[in-house]
Every structure is written in C-alpha cells, then in structure tokens.
Structure 1
Amino acid sequence: MTTVTTKVLSAAQQEELLSTLKARFEKNMQRHAGIAWTDVLARLEANPAKLWSLHEMERTGGEPDVVGHDQQTGEYILYDCAAESPKGRRSVCYDREGLESRKEHRPENNAVDMAAEMGIALLTEEEYRELQKLGRFDQKTSSWIRTPADIRQLGGALFADFRYGNVFVYHNGAQSYYAARAFRGSLRV
C-alpha cells in the first residue's frame, strides 16, 4: 500500500483546493465558531500530505470542512460535510474481509481500505452524532461508521443516517453494499 506521505499536489492543485476550502469555511461559520481561517491555512500549508488527503476527500465528493480544534494538540479537525454520503465512495463493503467474503457481485472497493488509502479515518458513532449537530446530513443516504471490534468479529458493521429528526445507527453484514451508502471521514491537521 502506498503511504499518504508520498502524495503531493501541484501548486495549481493546492491553490484550487485552498480556495475551495476557504470558500466553504466562510460560508459555514456555524461549523467552526471562534476558529480563524488564517490559523487553519497556516496548518494546512505546513502539512502537504494532509492537503493531499483533503484533495482526495474533495475529489470523491466529501466536501471537507473544519468542525473543531483540539486545544491539546493544536490540530484542526475536518469532517466530510457533504449533505449526502460522498458520491465517489458509494457502493462499497465495510472492509476487505467483508469484500472478500462475497461470492458474487463484488463491489470494487471497501470503506476501510479507501479511507486508509486517502489518509483519513472513518467517523466514529460519536463523531457522526457531533456532525449532525452542525447540520442535517444523510437524509437520503447512509454512511458506514467505524465499527467496534466485537461487532466486527461477529460479521457485522455499523452505518448511520438522519431520519425523522434523529440520528439512527444500524447494522448490516460487512459484506453488504448499497448505491446510497458510502462513508464519511475525518482528518486532523
């Protein structure tokens, strides 16, 4: 597997990405009250490998945005904030084991490997619930979320969505996949 640290964007790609991120940041200030774009920009520019990961989040339809700041580490936290699950990551099983257990009609990829290749982490249930406090996401789609080991060992995997004014967390076999299910990721910079 190629490591994310070897991935670098061209100057033009960086400029375009930073412009997109700044515009989204300014349009959605409720997601990051008290955080200044100049501070986020300084961290982004100092971490080109993270820019590559953000580019991948953007390229696959995630619409990443700043959702928090870790006071202890100084890192800014970004989540996929697309209204619906990212289009470029749909129709995937939960993980490699789930994918390989399918006898037929295998999708091309799985959420866990895709996230690792992108250099991001799947949202946890707690992070997914925090995201839903910032807006309404996955009202027509659903997203795989990080599944605890005990559930995964039994063959299951978790996904979540927002319906009827509430966040719902469900389970499926890790080998399942649907056209309206992708995964949402997080990145710390």
Structure 2
Amino acid sequence: MTKRNEIIDKKELSQEQSAELLTVLKDRFEKNMNRHKDIEWAKVQAKLDANTEKLWSLNEMERTGGEPDVVGYDKKKDEYTFCDCSVESPKGRRSVCYDHKALESRKKNKPENNAIDMAASMGIELLTEEQYRALQELENFDIKTSSWVQTPTDIRELGGALFCDRRYGHVFVYHNGAESYYATRGFRGSLMV
C-alpha cells in the first residue's frame, strides 16, 4: 500500500502533515484578511486543534488545488466556514460530471469521476448557489472556468444540473445535462469547522 493510500484509508494526517498544512492555512489566512474580517487565526486554529479529523478534509481540498481559506463564522453554531478560494475552479477536480447517476448514464467517454461523490469522499460539500454568490462578493473567481453547484432536486430529476461562473463582471448560473463534463468545469467545496 502506498503512503497516499494509507492517508486516504485512515483519513487522518501525521503530526508533520498537520503542522505543514496549518502553516499553509495560516499564511493564506493572513495574506487574505479581506475574506474574513474580524476573525482571529488563533480561534480558528483552536477549532482545528479540537477537530483534527477536519484537517484531513482541508488537506484534500489543498491537494486538489482548492486553496481553502476561512470565509465566514456562524456565531450560533460556533463554526468557521472554509471554502475553496483558488482563483479558478480547482484543477484536481475538473472534467467531472455532476453525480453518480449522470456518470452511469454515459455510454461513451465517461469522465473519471463525478462532483458529488468526489466531494463526499473528501468530507466536503458542493457550494450552493447562495454560497457561490457570497464567495464572489469577496473576490472574483472562475473568470475562465466554471463550477458545479448543488442542484435542486426537481431540476436534477429532469436530467439537469447547475453550474456558475463570473463573466463580464457578473455571476451567472447556468444549466447543463448532469452527465456533461468539460476541462474547464470543476467544483468548489465548503467545510464547517
């Protein structure tokens, strides 16, 4: 078994890997204070230290090119929201269709994976349209790419799925067949800690 497979099977990081990830997250946090005004890193780290299983998910977000960062705090739940803040849709999560049903429906040229199952295996959730729009309030994302977002059941039952991007200074929500996939479409995820 390779080291990578051991990490996936255990879904936990070594102390060295955790320390390395925390350094990356802290540096990104400090360089992008506009994303999380009035939030202190020490409090975020205390939450991470108390929920070490979440570090594995954050590492998966990082490993696949998501560049996770804190984008919010829910006072009622006492939870911080991490979200993929890479400028474009994460490179390691592109060329995927929407969900398993869509993947199975393809007769030819199937993609390697789908967004819903990938997110679940990483311990994260696809952004909702509302979360995607809130993220776009912080900075401009997906100028050249697009990202699948959670799709309402009634749309999905009819074979469609939603994705978003930013073009011409505006955030757009589009639809496509859930089985479609493109080299420039991936997905962004969120994680509550």
TM value normalised by structure 1:
0.97
Distance 1:112 1:49 in 2: 20
Aligned counterpart, 1:160: 164
Which range moved further: 42-51 or 153-162? 42-51
Equivalent residues, number: 186
Aligned counterpart, 2:26: 22
Aligned counterpart, 2:77: 73
Q: Deviations over 1:66-112 (max 9, x none)?
A: 00000001000011000000000000000000000001000110000
Distance 1:149 1:81 in 2: 27
The answer as to 2:131 corresponding to 1:130 is no
Distance 2:83 2:136 in 1: 11
The answer as to 2:62 corresponding to 1:51 is no
CA-CA distance at 1:7 after TM superposition:
1.0
CA-CA distance at 1:5 after TM superposition:
10
Distance 1:175 1:57 in 2: 23
Unaligned segments of structure 2, at least 5 residues: 1-7
Aligned counterpart, 1:145: 149
Q: Is this contact kept in 2: 1:159–1:171, CA < 8 A?
A: yes
The answer as to 2:179 corresponding to 1:181 is no
Q: Is this contact kept in 2: 1:6–1:49, CA < 8 A?
A: no
Distance 1:49 1:149 in 2: 30
The answer as to 2:44 corresponding to 1:40 is yes
The answer as to 2:16 corresponding to 1:12 is yes
Unaligned segments of structure 1, at least 5 residues: none
Shift of the 5–28 alpha-carbon distance from structure 1 to 2, 3 Å rule, reads farther
Stretches (4+) displaced over 6 A: none
Which of 95, 101, 109 is 1:97 aligned to? 101
Distance 2:49 2:146 in 1: 32
Q: Percent identity?
A: 68
Q: Deviations over 1:18-53 (max 9, x none)?
A: 000000000000000000000000001111110000
TM value normalised by structure 2:
0.95
Distance 2:169 2:50 in 1: 40
Aligned counterpart, 2:116: 112
SS in 2 for 1:159: strand
